[in-house]
Structures are given as C-alpha cells and as structure tokens.
C-alpha cells in the first residue's frame, strides 16, 4: 500500500517571488518616470514659439517643430481618417499628400477635422485649386488606436479613401509612393484647412509621475513586508 507524503513549498520561494515583484514594481515606476519626462519635453517643444523653418526632404526634424513646405497638394488622392472624435462628435481628419517634386517622398498634410454627417462624403468640400502651395504646420504623427481589426484601408476603394487608424506603410501601399516619416499638422492660421486644435497628448507628465509614485510605494511596502517576514522567521528558528 503506497503512502502519500505531504509536500510543502520551499520556505524561500515566497521571498523569491516577492523580490521579483519588488523589482517589477520598481521597473514600472521607472518607466512611468521616463514617460513623464518625455511628456514634459514634448510640452516644452509644443510651447516653442520659434518661426517656421524651411523644410526640405531628408532634413532632420523634431516633434512639434514648426515647418514651412512648398509643393503641390494632390487633392485627387486624399484620405479621410475615420472615427476621429472631437467635442463628443465623430468625424474625419483630412489627409492630403504634398508633392515636393524631384521624385522625393510625399509629405502627408493633416488639414484638420470635419464632422461626419452621413454615410456618403462630398469630396468637393475638401477640393483645392490646382497649383503650387506653401503650407505651414507642426511635425506630428498619425493618430493611433489601442486596438484595431481588419484592413486600415479597403483595397481598391475610391478616392478620397476612408482609412481607420492607418500607418504610414498603409498610406504608401494605397498611393504607390513613399511618404515622409512624419505628418505635417497644418497651422490654424494657414488657409486650405478645417477645424484644427493641435495639442500634445492628453495624459500629461503629472499623471505619469503620480503613477510612478504609486508603483514605487507598492515596491517599498512589499520590500518592507519581505524583510519583516524574513526577520520574524529567523527569530523563530534561533
């Protein structure tokens, strides 16, 4: 007849797991601090009132830098960035390629927000007169979704094409052209745009620092409990 012997976990295992959690909590706190610093830098860059630098393809740019670009706006191949919420209303960002010439990658210009009023969209409302144009704005990026399903742009759809949180690669595939690694957020004072209210990310540095404090506090409390339990066990066995 076989006897089953009870097996207990090693006494040191909870301490190892607890120490791993302390390290993880501290790492998360450090990550939040870094994000807070990044957000503070972004906020300072956005507040920079320097004039508009003349942009040329290939030049190095920084986030929210003010740029002035000259070329031809291609209103025959525009994108309607769908599912953009502004003041509790749904609408589109109008994304228009700027042809800089010389075979250089296209510069995508976000001309602002228009409200969605139905299932169909009147393309004449976003048309522009052909010819050379000078646009001013800030260095920005495409809006991003936490999670999305399916194609960002339906293949073969008519222009202007509806796009749901596309990447720059998605735009390149639809246009058959390379695009610049950033988007120009059209300045509110520039003509040929729509509703524009460009601001840094809503979650400011202060909230990241508050989250960091919470993670560090959790790490400190757990570390203190581990030390207390270790001393208590040691005293019991002396």
Residues 6+ apart with CB under 8 A from 114: 91, 92, 94, 125, 126, 194, 195
Q: Of the ranges 46-55, 92-101, 113-122, 194-203, which is most confident?
A: 92-101
Query: Residue 71's beta-bridge partner residues?
Result: 133
**Maximum Cα–Cα distance across the chain:** 95
Give pLDDT tens digits for 174-191. 999 999 999 999 998 888
Give pLDDT tens digits for 15-36. 788 888 888 888 888 888 887 7
Residue 117: how many other CB atoms lie within 10 Å: 10
What's the pLDDT band for 200 if we cut at 50, 70, 90? low
Q: What is the pTM of this model?
A: 0.65
> Mean pLDDT of all residues in the chain?
82
Distance from CA of residue 79 to its chain's centroid? 19
Q: If we measure between CA atoms, which residue out of 150, 8, 140, 123 comes closest to residue 64?
A: 140
pLDDT, position 46: 64
Q: Rounded distance, CA 33 to CA 207, Å?
A: 10
pLDDT, position 5: 52
pLDDT, position 43: 66
């Amino acid at each position: 007849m076989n006897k089953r012997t009870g097996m207990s976990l090693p006494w040191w295992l909870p301490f190892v797991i607890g120490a791993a959690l302390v390290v993880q909590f501290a790492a998360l706190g450090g990550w939040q601090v870094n994000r807070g610093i990044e957000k503070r830098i972004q906020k300072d860059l956005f507040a920079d009132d320097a004039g508009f630098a003349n942009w040329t393809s290939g030049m190095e740019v920084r986030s929210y830098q003010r740029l002035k670009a000259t070329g031809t706006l291609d209103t025959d191949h525009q994108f309607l960035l769908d599912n953009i919420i502004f003041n509790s209303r749904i609408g589109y960002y109008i994304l228009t390629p700027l042809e800089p010439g010389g075979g250089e990658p296209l510069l995508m210009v976000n001309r602002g927000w228009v409200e969605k009023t139905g299932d169909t969209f009147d393309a004449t409302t976003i048309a522009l007169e052909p010819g050379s144009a000078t646009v001013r704005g800030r260095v920005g990026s495409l809006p991003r979704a936490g999670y999305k399903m399916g194609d960002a742009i339906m293949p073969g759809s008519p222009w202007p094409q509806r796009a749901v949180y596309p990447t720059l690669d998605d735009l390149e595939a639809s246009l058959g052209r390379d695009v610049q690694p950033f988007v120009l957020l059209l300045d509110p004072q520039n003509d040929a745009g729509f509703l524009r209210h460009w601001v840094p990310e809503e979650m400011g540095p202060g909230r990241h620092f508050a989250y960091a404090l919470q993670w560090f506090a959790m790490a400190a409390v757990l570390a203190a409990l581990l030390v207390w339990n270790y001393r208590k066990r040691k005293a019991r066995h002396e």
